[in-house]
Amino acid sequence: MTDILVIGGGIAGLSAAARLSENAKVTVIEAEASLGYHASGRSAALIEPNYGASSVQALNRASVDFLESGGYLSPRGLLIIAQAHERAAFEKDAAALGTSPITQAEAISFVPVLNPAKLTYAAYHADAQDIDTDLLLQDFARTLRKNGGTIETGCRVDAIHWASGKWDLRAADMHFTAPMLVNAAGAWADQIAELAHVAPLEITPHRRSMARIPAPGGHDVSAWPMFFGVDETWYAKPDAGCLLVSPADEDAVKPHDAWAEDLTLAQGLALYEEMVTEPVTRLQSSWAGLRSFAPDRTLVLGRDPDHPAFVWCAGQGGYGFQTAPAASQLLADLVCGRTPSLDKDVSAALRPERLR
């Protein structure tokens, strides 16, 4: 008999399951054949403490110690760049992300391919760090298993029923029962709620596309920061000797196995090319992931107000990995009846009842 069923084997579900497994027997049910297949496997893999709404920033800050002590972080830095006509947007972004203005020469020392004829404004923040997302994902899975939990992959949930004080789930040819259900299904969170006859919360997936290009001009990009255009219209980040470039698109879509659209990629690459001296001559690969947001663009963590045995762990948006340590601890505290260590106003801003 399982105490808690967790639907979703991405970072949200695995981190929540690992925390909950300290006090309960937990089973994770993942539709795909592997863990972290959708949004978690297509993450930009960065923590920037000042990124996101105030409640997200609180989770970011509360997660840093866990990530640092676990050896999941490595230096990256974040650079915002802008042209002369983009001053107002640049100043807004620089202030929001807590960056410090730097000179054109300093910016080019960070990213040598920046075009001095276009670059007028720049600001830098050293505290942004890369996250070893695969290690973090696998360590949460190991913790769950060490505590006696189990993970079932290739199990797409077909039916959910509540009867006699427990959930009854059908997934492929398997049958699961438990008195509590955690909905960590990412882009499919509202669909899972509807299967369980729980009112959905308007969790909407948005496509984010990415292209991998060769290192511009043959440069060693390993020490370059992640760099952004203003209003997050595009960004670029070093990755395994190459450069990832994203149009930072955010198109609302239905839940699906996402792919990048050629026109969207072309638009983002054009914005990137406008700010550098090296043209993009070929793509090594491209893909897309789904970042799922609640209407107020912050996470949804806790028991459903109308059905307390149904627990939301959704709406991670682009913040899943950087908030996972603190978000999963908060969820476990709320489920287990403990007083959360997070500020009560932050906790309230994340609870599902705010959306009802």
List, for residues 178-232, the tens digit of each pLDDT value.
999 999 999 999 999 999 999 999 999 999 999 999 999 999 999 999 999 999 9
Task: Kindly state the average pLDDT of the residues 151-157.
Answer: 97
pLDDT at 245 over 80: yes
Is the predicted pLDDT of residue 254 greater than 80, yes or no? yes
Structural domains in the chain plus CATH codes: 4-45+133-202+295-355 (3.50.50.60), 78-125+204-293 (3.30.9.10)
Rounded distance, CA 127 to CA 320, Å?
Answer: 18
* Distance from C-alpha of 16 to C-alpha of 324, rounded to nearest angstrom: 8
Whether 1 shows a pLDDT value over 80: the answer reads no
Q: Return the percentage of the chain with pLDDT > 70, whole number.
A: 100
Contact 298, 349 (CB under 8 A): yes
Q: In the predicted model, what is the mean pLDDT of residues 160-174? A: 95
Q: Which two tokens stand for residue 34?
A: 């592997």
**Tens digits of per-residue pLDDT, 57-111?**
999 999 999 999 999 999 999 999 999 999 999 999 999 999 999 999 999 999 9
Predicted confidence (pLDDT) per residue in 335-355, tens digit:
999 999 999 999 999 999 999
Distance of CA 276 to the CA centre of its chain: 28
Q: What is the pLDDT of residue 41?
A: 85
The overall average pLDDT reported for the chain is 96
Both tokens of 69, joined, read 């002590």
- Asked whether the beta carbons of 182 and 4 are under 8 A apart, the reply is yes
User: Is the pLDDT score of 141 beyond 90?
Assistant: yes
What confidence score (pLDDT) does residue 139 get?
98
What pLDDT is attached to residue 172? 83
pLDDT band at 44 (very low <50, low <70, confident <90, very high): confident
Which residue is associated with the tokens 């059908």?
A: 170
Q: Give the mean model confidence (pLDDT) for residues 269-290.
A: 97
Which pLDDT belongs to residue 242? 97
pTM for the full model? 0.96
What's the CA gap between 5 and 150, in Å, rounded?
Answer: 10
Q: Look at the alpha carbons of 56, 23, 40, 241 in this order and tell me if their dihedral is positive or negative.
A: positive
**What's the whole-number mean pLDDT along residues 15-31?**
98
Distance CA 255, CA 37 (A): 13
Confidence of residue 55 (pLDDT cuts 50, 70, 90): very high
Q: What is the mean pLDDT of residues 169-180?
A: 94
